[in-house]
Chains A and B, each alone.
Chain A
Amino acid sequence: MSNDQFKLNIDGRDIDVPRHYTLMQACEAAGAEIPRFCYHERLSVAGNCRMCLVEWQGAPKPIASCAQTVGEMRPNPDGTAPVIRTQGDYVEKARSGVMEFLLINHPLDCPICDQGGECDLQDQAVAYGRSGSRYDLNKRAVEDKNMGPLVKTIMTRCIQCTRCVRFAAEVAGVEELGMISRGESAEITTYLEHSLTSELSGNVIDLCPVGALTSKPYAYNARPWELRKTTSIDVMDAMGSAIRVDAKGNAVMRILPTVNEEVNEEWLSDKSRFVWDGLARQRLDTPYVRRDGRLSPASWGEAFVAVKDALSGRPEAIGFIAGDLVEVEQAKAGLDLARRLAVQNTDCRPAGAAYGVDGPREQYLLNSSFMAVEEADALILIGCNPRQDAAVWNARIRKAWLWNDLKVHLIGDPVDLTYDYDHLGTGPEGLAALDTLSGASRPMIVVGEDVLLRPDGQAILAAAHAAALNIGAIQDGWAGFGVLHNAAGRVGALDVGFVPGPGGLDTAGMLSGKLDTLVLMGGDELDLSGLGTTKVIYIGHHGDAGAARADIILPCAAYTEMSATYVNTEGRVQMTRAAVEPKGEAREGWAIFRAMSDSLGHTLPYDTADALREGLRAERPHFAGLGFAPAEAGVEALRAPMAGTGTPDLAVPFGARRGDFYLTNPIARASKTMAECSLQHRGLETAVAAE
């Protein structure tokens, strides 16, 4: 037995576990099931619910196994391993006693409680509790608290496990939740009932083991057993968090995170979690064609006639733009069609971007994985705000900062990132300070996508890349240089080569009104005001800016309605799965292009999405590696110097993140919940600014 192992006898079985294990982990390693409320493996140990009691032979009292470190246990007097029992009368009596106390003040309102059916307290009361109550005095009641538009509170149900308090303080990094008063009067609240300001606040709903904190938008909508659960991938940011889409009939009822240790652990940002009501509003469910200045519903056939008319002009006067949410299949089909029509004006990047046209894909990926930040000892953020662009990753950065002594440096707008950082400057002049950071052994440099949209974006990227080579961010086994994107579709579209062909116009060029026809795949965030007389064929799922400007609208499926490929900012290829049917006449994006190609006489060579993907994998093998992030595999490609033109413009600071965190895409803009969040958030910002 090595020195860092500890021998235990659990339920008659000898087991060796690492000394730093808690007794609860040891019991689970031995196959025992330990009930718990306050313990959560990603939060600090509180030890206040007492549900995890086990028997330690010889100890005078039952032991709270979550708070007992194995290495600190004494052996028996005769030197044998401590004997633990997780079953038997003693333990059962202890647990049923704890359960009885927990239930004393817990209301018996399970029939009207949204947690019903997925409630830890309910489940454990069945498993460990008494069959009836012996308590016939008055129960206490607690006032409900306002925590903002996302979290509904019924505080009488609270059992004071403090998971939410610990989450806010430790993971989210906003100390806004607390337990006030004491004893019977103890209550969980925000400070004077201010709303939570964290963009991760929805996670307290998952953490709450009872029905005290539930989802406000989902309130009274469905029971968990009625829901059809589909695991999928989120597209609200470029992280590709693992989600579970719960649907009833053809409606998405809620979105929950699932565990993906490499991406989102088990957290989810509020935008990803609560955007689902936007999937039912402002939807395009039938093709539209503009006749006499008004958009009127049309059949697919009529629409394709109009499309054929619009796309039969000179190829130089036709353009294709892929927006932020476009899936790989649609981008691929759109690009293939464009090239068959001899159109070189294709772009998937926002106006102003010059990156990603040539060179290896490592030049626009994050390269280092999200997880790698936990191994890094320095993180340099250049013009990027991970709290907005990758809120869940920001929590991981905070974790690394909190526990691993990660040093964070920021060049850009000095925003509150929930951790301390060393502010090296607000603009490109801060890049000069990078060379002084050579002390780190595993530094990581992350450039925000917004930086690349500046006229000097390539120069800054090249300068940052040179600094990365210089300070050792790119070394064997460590690819610590990359770009943090904020749009789910961008990397996938770049991967299929959705950039201007030889002599083709880029996004800014296409939007300047030079074209006769523009095929707009999403792209509602673009400034369409300069289009002039350009005819717009809009392919999208929401009636947003693009649809308003469109002359022909072809409705496509949203991310919950199709099985589609997305590539996250790490370069990780992942697939969503269809949880519900597309709305009305809407079709999957690639299928629209396939049908369009047929009507244009340039039939694309695939009849199914699988055939499309197969072709894609043959063309670009990395699409075969589902779920795989290249990370340090990209080191060699990163070593090549980056071609930067011009010099960084020192006079222009990196701007604040454009747009509103809650309203970055058409689905979010259609969501009432997101609108409320945005309103509240802006109200907050005004209040702070006024101080």
Chain B
Amino acid sequence: MALRRFDLEAGGTDFSFAPETEDKIAFWLGKYPSEKKRSAVIPLLWLAQKDNAGWLSEPAMRAVADRLEMPYIRVYEVATFYTMFRLRPVGRHHIQLCGTTPCMLRGAHDLKEVCRDRIGEPFAITDDARLSWEEVECLGACVNAPMVQINDYYYEDLTPERFASVLDQLRNGVDVAPGTFVDRQRSAPLGGATSLLDAGLFDGSRLAQAHLPNLPEPVTDTAQPAAPARTTLIDVQPGPPPERVETASERVDDLRKIKGIGPKAVTQLQALGIYQFAQIAAWSPADVSRIEAALSGAGRVGREDWIAQARLLVQANKEA
């Protein structure tokens, strides 16, 4: 990694954010408390870079620092740490060429040669100021290797020829659609799917009883019609069913307010007739073990202290 320094000459002395960027700045600043607004330094630097023709000039960096009331040196540290902030001018279309292992194995070296041929050395800008390039580390599109990122978009499954034609088109002012350059849907296999082809996989017809080989055979009650066996690793002790409590719908508490109870547990609890905090608050140890058995979560009620939580919520409801 070469030394990264501001191009002070090209940066001039002034920078101002585009008017339409202000909304985005407000969005990012809105995410943090006002006394911690320096947390927004990376998004703001990014926005400044976008407003400054794809590179971060020194005045742009100072504008960010002034907005966030940060010492310049602190912003300077961030701007020089992250190589996604480019401190020198770039072409209108800046190419980030992935040179990490998968892309390298799939021919990134050849793409680099194309760049050298068509543009020049990394960070050189073509005479018409349209193109520049740099090599970057993995962009996370290894399935579609080799690939490049041009400004904000990925151009994938490139060959030297295809890439050269992309560069030529961009250079001639023709926009090129991003995405893959071969016959595939996004990252799907070339020429279409090669596995999971059976339509039955997707129509529900395969929903059948799962049979795990090491589980004991389920005891089927011949008097009852065979229900789909539940496969669970916890031995469920079927206890006496809880008393059912009939409740008016408006008396149903939002049980999820209790930490530990999620949507699934709510459904299960309601199936057991538990609708209100008051019911949980009144659980005896026997109730607890019965409920835990039904929820397949031994010790969960005590660990997450549902009863105490429920009592507080009952209290809160009364006060409200």
Contacts and interface: CB of A to CB of B under 8 A. Distances in A.
Interface of A: 175-185, 190-192
Contact of A179 (B3, B8, B77): B77
B15 interface: no
B74 A175 contact: yes
Chain B, interface residues (CB within 8 Å), range: 10 to 19
Contacts of A176: 71, 73
A183 B6 CA distance: 18
Contacts of B1: 181-185
B80 A181 contact: yes
Contacts of B3: 181, 185
7 contacts: A178-B74, A178-B76, A178-B77, A180-B80, A181-B81, A192-B58, A192-B76
B4 interface: yes
Contacts of A181: 1, 3-4, 80-81
Contacts of A179: 77
B153 interface: no
Contact of B73 (A175, A182, A184): A175
B76 A180 contact: yes
Contact of A185 (B4, B8, B58, B71): B4
Contacts of B4: 181, 185
B81 A182 contact: yes
A183 B1 CA distance: 9
Main secondary structure of the interface of B (DSSP, over half): helix
B72 interface: yes
Contacts of A192: 6, 8, 58, 72, 76
Interface string B258-292: 00000000000000000000000000000000000
Residue of A175, A178, A184, A185 most packed against chain B (CB within 10 A) = A178
A191 B73 contact: yes
A175 B280 CA distance: 56
Contacts of B81: 180-182
B73 A177 contact: yes
Given A178-B76, A180-B81, 14 more contacts: A175-B71, A175-B74, A176-B71, A177-B73, A180-B76, A180-B77, A181-B1, A182-B1, A183-B1, A184-B1, A185-B1, A191-B76, A192-B8, A192-B76
Residue of B6, B74, B76 most packed against chain A (CB within 10 A) = B76
A233 to B, nearest CB: 35
A644 B18 CA distance: 61
A190 B80 contact: no
A390 B73 CA distance: 27
Contact of B72 (A182, A183, A191): A191
Residue of A175, A176, A185, A191 most packed against chain B (CB within 10 A) = A191
Nearest to A177: B73
Contacts of A190: 73
Contacts, number: 39
A176 B70 CA distance: 11
Closest 8 CB pairs of A and B: A175-B71, A178-B73, A180-B80, A191-B73, A178-B77, A191-B72, A181-B80, A182-B81
A178 B72 CA distance: 10
A177 B76 CA distance: 10
Contacts of A191: 71-73, 76
Nearest to A175: B71
Contacts of B80: 180-182
B6 to A, nearest CB: 8
Residue of B8, B58, B73, B77 most packed against chain A (CB within 10 A) = B73
Interface in B33-72: 58, 71-72
B84 to A, nearest CB: 12
A189 B6 CA distance: 14
A466 B50 CA distance: 60
B69 to A, nearest CB: 11
Nearest to A182: B81
Contacts of A177: 73
Nearest to A178: B73
A178 B8 CA distance: 19
B197 to A, nearest CB: 47
Nearest to B3: A185
Residue of B6, B72, B74 most packed against chain A (CB within 10 A) = B72
Contacts of A175: 71, 73-74
Contacts of A180: 76-77, 80-81
Interface in B1-16: 1-4, 6, 8
A173 to B, nearest CB: 11
A181 to B, nearest CB: 5
Contacts of B8: 192
Nearest to A142: B3
Contacts of A182: 1, 80-81
A180 B1 CA distance: 13
A201 to B, nearest CB: 14
A176 B6 CA distance: 17
Contacts of A178: 73-74, 76-77
A179 B74 CA distance: 9
Contacts of B6: 192
A14 B241 CA distance: 59
A535 to B, nearest CB: 55
Nearest to A190: B73
Nearest to B62: A191
A196 B77 CA distance: 17
B9 to A, nearest CB: 13
Nearest to B58: A192
Nearest to B77: A178
A162 to B, nearest CB: 11
A183 B83 CA distance: 12
A178 B3 CA distance: 16
A268 B147 CA distance: 57
Nearest to B8: A192
A398 to B, nearest CB: 15
A177 B6 CA distance: 17
A184 B4 CA distance: 12
A655 B87 CA distance: 44
A626 to B, nearest CB: 42
A180 B6 CA distance: 12
Nearest to A180: B80
A177 B73 CA distance: 7
Contacts of A183: 1
Interface in B68-106: 71-74, 76-77, 80-81
Contacts of A184: 1
B304 to A, nearest CB: 25
A175 B8 CA distance: 21
A181 B4 CA distance: 7
A666 B140 CA distance: 67
Interface in B280-316: none
B80 to A, nearest CB: 4
A228 B47 CA distance: 58
A182 B261 CA distance: 45
A175 B74 CA distance: 8
A531 B187 CA distance: 93
Contacts of B76: 178, 180, 191-192
A158 to B, nearest CB: 15
B66 to A, nearest CB: 12
Residue of A176, A180, A182 most packed against chain B (CB within 10 A) = A180
A181 B77 CA distance: 7
B182 to A, nearest CB: 36
A103 to B, nearest CB: 22
A420 to B, nearest CB: 12
Nearest to B6: A192
Contacts of B77: 178-180
A139 to B, nearest CB: 15
A457 B2 CA distance: 61
Contacts of B72: 191-192
Interface string B125-156: 00000000000000000000000000000000
Nearest to B82: A182
Nearest to A174: B71
